[in-house]
Structures are given as structure tokens and as C-alpha cells.
Amino acid sequence: MKSKSGQAENSVNPAELARRQGSDCPVELIDVRTAPEHAAAHVAGAQLVPLDRLDPAAFLKARKCPEAPLYVICQSGTRAAKAVERFRNAGFDGCVLVEGGTQAWIDAGLPVERGQCRVIPLMRQVQIVVGSLSVLGAAMALGLDARFAVIPLLLGGGLLFAGITGMCGLALLLAKMPWNQQSTCASGAVAK
């Protein structure tokens, strides 16, 4: 897809995507978050294709309109950017990143389909694990042996790395856990 300036379009803001969804042109949108995240709140019509299960070649082969743009969304944009890169590496340059992801869509007041989800959001799971292990490591360093201080040190280093690179190894690991693989949410209600 080309912008008015003639250059390839790489991203779109939520308001513009909503406008395109309302036009006569079909919009193919994939959501690369986990199943519980998608079930809890997602843009109507978004097809769930979790990033850890994304096979760009197989997905592209199954598309009905292979030349049409493919819009990619996640929670904030980081996973969607990784998915776009995978599609580019597979030889498809027609991906359009939804800027700011589902959170930006919600913040813009655009409608989403919501469900009642019993699974804690992925980033909160990361915070719970890192917080728990940090407290445990610090308590063990104070009460048992100072060498246990390496636990919160490593966890802090992991958080620093995730903040700088946008890649969280713990989040990727937790996304593969059984409770994050299946949707345990009832969805369908449309709300802002």
C-alpha cells in the first residue's frame, strides 16, 4: 500500500484503521497476542495468530487476497513489530503495523470485543514472577547467605534488558504456559 507521498506505508494509527474498517475495502487484521489477551479485549474482526505460533509462509499461502495489506496488532506494538519483521523475512512487504496496539485502540475510545477473563494479563504475570523472586532472593540474601543477592540482581538485569530492547524473555516463556495457550474467557460483548 502506498501513502499519498508514494512511499510504502509501514504503520497506521488506530483511528485510521477504524476508518478503513468502515469503508468498502476489506481489512485483514491479525492479533499476535496470547489467546487470553485476545479474548479479554480485541478489535472486532481481528484474527488471533499468537506470535510464538506464527508461521509467515503458511499464513501467506492461505490468504484469500495475497496482494492486499495485512494489518498486525498486539498489546502495545512490540510483538506486532516482530511479526511484521517475520513477514518481511518471508518476502512479504505488505504488512502494516497498528501503532500503539490494542491499548492505543482502547485509549482512542474505539470499540472492542470484551470477555470475562480469568487469566491474568501477561505483563502482570511477569511482574508477579519478578517481584516474588526478587523479594525471595533479597530475603534469602539477608537471612541465609549474601550470595542469594544474585537472584534480584539477575532479575533486575533482565528487566533492564527488556526495557531497552522491548524483548522480555520471561514474557515469551510465560506465553507458552498452558494457562496462556487456551482462552478461558467468554467474549463477544462489544464495549468501549
Active centre residues (catalytic): 74
Backbone phi and psi for residue 12, each to the nearest 5 degrees, phi listed first = -145, 145
Whole-number Å distance between alpha carbons of 128 and 9: 38
Backbone phi and psi for residue 21, each to the nearest 5 degrees, phi listed first = -65, -30
Whole-number Å distance between alpha carbons of 55 and 87: 9
Give the CB-side neighbour count of residue 172, counting CA atoms within 13 A.
Answer: 12
Whole-number Å distance between alpha carbons of 109 and 192: 6
Nearest-5° angle of CA 123, CA 120, CA 161? 15
Which three cell numbers mark 17?
A: 484503521
Give CA 30 to chain center in angstroms. Answer: 10
Whole-number Cα distances in Å, 143 to 63, 138, 140, 163: 59, 8, 5, 30
Contacts of 75 (CB under 8 A, 6+ apart): 33, 37, 101, 102, 103, 122, 123
